[in-house]
Amino acid sequence: MSTRSFDWLTVIALAALAYIAGTALHEHLGHAASCVALGSDVRKFGAFYVECNDPRLSAAGVKLVALAGPVVSLLTGLACARLLPVARAPLTRLFAWMLASIGLMTAFGYMMFSGVAGIGDLGIGNDGVLHDVAMPWLWRVLMAGVGYFFYDRSVVWSMRTLAGIIGGREDRPQRVQRIALLTYLAGAVTCIVIGLFNPEGIVIVLTSAAAASLGGTSGFAWGPPRTRVGPGDSDAVVFPRSWAWIATSVVLVLAYAIVFGPTITMPAG
């Protein structure tokens, strides 16, 4: 069966929505919600960053706010992975796979990134989890190593799970590669375009929008050749064009871009 077994426009719409959903959960359910829950307030709500009023928090509170983002991403990935067996509609299963993969790659990708670079949510900066810890170099090495191991395992799981979702006989490896790469490109472009609207400049695009999408979920690009996926024993699952999914994606992604792209700045008080 050819690439006509999946509609490229619908896959792009699903990918854009999944990337933005993963970002919103990480930033707003993770960082912003924990900031408020710990007794502080959020100064800025951006599409790819949240600025918490750190002086109102204890040192431990600042670290918990930083940790909350990756933790929510991990929980999102695990929850969506658990939902996959009960999802019946092919497009619903594909969306759940995307969100699960994004969540897992984001969580473990942050461990690698902060471990190697020393910056980010889990880094050694003033608002990072490893700030002022004893022997930070040891924690960074351990975190990078654990992150690498579980990131690699997450990518292998993602590609094998996608292969099981799409089915197919002789062309299954090629379809895994096409859908994974299309997911990656569509999601990254969506994030970078929205990131361009932020008032902080190109630094947010490079360190947040592009880094999280192009780098954090790069497993979509290199995962298929890295994972052995043989021919299936059933016919390929057809992913038809769905105007309902496309319209939902357009509305929600645009709403997120319009509301959070330029950043909501809260009045000082």
Confidence (pLDDT) at 201: 86
What pLDDT, on a 0 to 100 scale, did the predictor assign at position 4? 59
pLDDT score of 3: 44
Report the chain's mean pLDDT, rounded to a whole number: 94
Dump pLDDT digits (tens) for 54-113.
999 999 999 999 999 999 999 999 999 999 999 989 999 999 999 999 999 999 999 999
CA distances from 215 to 118, 175, 209 (A): 16, 22, 10
Q: How confident is the model at residue 1 (pLDDT cuts 50, 70, 90)?
A: very low
CB 115 within 8 A of CB 70: no
User: Can you say how many angstroms the Cα of residue 170 is from the centroid of all Cα atoms in its chain?
Assistant: 31
Q: Residue 102, SS3?
A: helix
Q: What is the DSSP string of 169-232?
A: STTHHHHHHHHHHHHHHHHHHHHHHHHTT-TT-HHHIIIIIHIIIIITTTHHHHHHHHS-----
pTM: 0.95
**What is residue 7's DSSP assignment?**
-
As a whole number of angstroms, the distance between CA 32 and CA 44 comes to 9
Residues 64, 60: Cα–Cα separation, whole Å: 6
Q: Residue type at 131? A: H
Taking the C-alpha atoms of residue 199 and residue 50, their distance in angstroms, rounded to an integer, is 13
Nearest residue to 64 via CA among 112, 146, 127, 138: 127
Q: Judge whether residue 207 has pLDDT over 90.
A: no
Mean pLDDT on 221-225: 95
Q: Residue ranges of the alpha helices (H) in 32-171?
A: 33-37, 59-83, 90-117, 136-166
Q: Give SS3 for 75.
A: helix
Q: Which of 160, 176, 183, 151 is nearest to 22 (CA)?
A: 183
DSSP one-letter code for 25: I
Q: Is the pLDDT of residue 231 over 80?
A: no
Q: Tell me the per-residue pLDDT of 257-268, one tens digit each, with 9 for 90 and over.
A: 999 999 999 987
